[in-house]
Amino acid sequence: MTILAMVAAALVLDLLLGDPHAWPHPIKLIGKVIAWLTKRLNHPDASPFQRRLAGGFTWLVTVGGTILASWALLNLAAINQTLYFVVGTYLTYTCLSARQLAIEAEKIKASLAQANLLQARRQVGMIVGRDTDQLTSEEVIKATIETVAENTSDGVIAPLLCCLIGGPVWGLAYKAVNTLDSMVGYRNEQYRDFGWFAAKVDDVVNYVPARLTWLLLVISAWLMRTDAKEAIKVGRRDRLHHLSPNSAFSESVVAGALHLQLGGPHYYFGQLVEKPYIGDDFQVTADLRHLQQTIWLMYGATGLGFVLLGALRWWLLQI
């Protein structure tokens, strides 16, 4: 029951606070460790095999260190029940990012509402991996929608699931895996070999969460009175239309629910990367209304995820 209470309290904190920049955050520390190891181990003159070994070592140090550090901290806090709950709740809270995801999207929405495209490009560039300096207003909106949709899975539902299964240690371990993929899991010359292991593990770990998010977003689309029928149709057809085997699951549902066509080719580090389109071409121009609907779909999936997964955990503990 303690884990369920921790997750409930952490979710409330996340929805109220987001991620205040000045607060201590283990994910920021994880990111610094990855950057430090990458700088020292990802040598451009090494062979592909050596770079894969270095990437695997980076993964092992990062994920293993995260597990050991969080486990040790919780064991130290266990000297007092209240302290244990507070520390565990805070660590769980840092794994969830529903509110911060909405905040970043709302910043972009506000900039576009003020016709400040240059600022919106900079803002979306902070949350996506693609080049953004030449994006149109509609392309900025679509990039933001895609990011909110994709991160509904790996930024909200996946860590929520892990925290409900194994508490903050599992949640932080997942965040370490996912942060590694987001930082080094690219298919360009610099990271293709070094980030190979991180990308493969992230694909495996996100297999179940991506499909669970698909279902939760479909239910959310129905509750929000968007086109749930189209969400199911496009979600079934286009769920694998992405270079990642998991990312299109959530994007395809959102594309169908909002009658948008997402995906397609994008530039990364100056190189054009061909990607399949997701969704049908309804000749609908993506606008700020679609962006707001995506945020609400994410919130709906978050609430449904906690209620359904929390109820399942409670029921299993009663058996």
pLDDT tens across the length of the chain (319 residues): 689 999 999 999 999 999 988 888 899 999 999 999 999 999 989 999 999 999 999 999 999 999 999 999 999 999 999 999 999 999 999 999 999 999 999 999 999 999 999 999 999 999 987 888 999 999 999 999 999 999 999 999 999 999 999 999 999 999 999 999 999 988 888 899 999 999 999 999 999 999 999 999 999 999 999 999 999 999 999 998 887 889 899 999 999 999 999 988 888 777 787 888 999 988 889 999 999 999 999 999 999 999 999 999 999 888 7
CA-wise closest residue to 154 among 104, 204, 194:
204
- Greatest pairwise CA separation for the chain in angstroms: 61
Please, are residues 18 and 104 in contact by the beta-carbon 8 Å criterion?
A: no
Among left, alpha and beta (phi > 0; psi -120 to 50; other), residue 28 is alpha
Please, are residues 96 and 11 in contact by the beta-carbon 8 Å criterion?
A: yes
What lies within 8 Å, CB to CB, of 305 at 6+ separation is: 156, 157, 160, 161, 212, 213, 216
Report the run of H or E that residue 270 belongs to, with start and end: none
The CB density around residue 68, as the number of other CB atoms within 10 Å, is 11
Cα–Cα dist 238/280, whole Å: 10
Q: Kindly state the tokens that stand for 133.
A: 């300096």
Please, are residues 98 and 162 in contact by the beta-carbon 8 Å criterion?
A: no
Please, are residues 54 and 43 in contact by the beta-carbon 8 Å criterion?
A: yes
What lies within 8 Å, CB to CB, of 208 at 6+ separation is: 161
What is the domain extent for residue 27?
2-318
Cα–Cα dist 217/64, whole Å: 32
Total domains present in the chain: 1
pTM of the model: 0.93
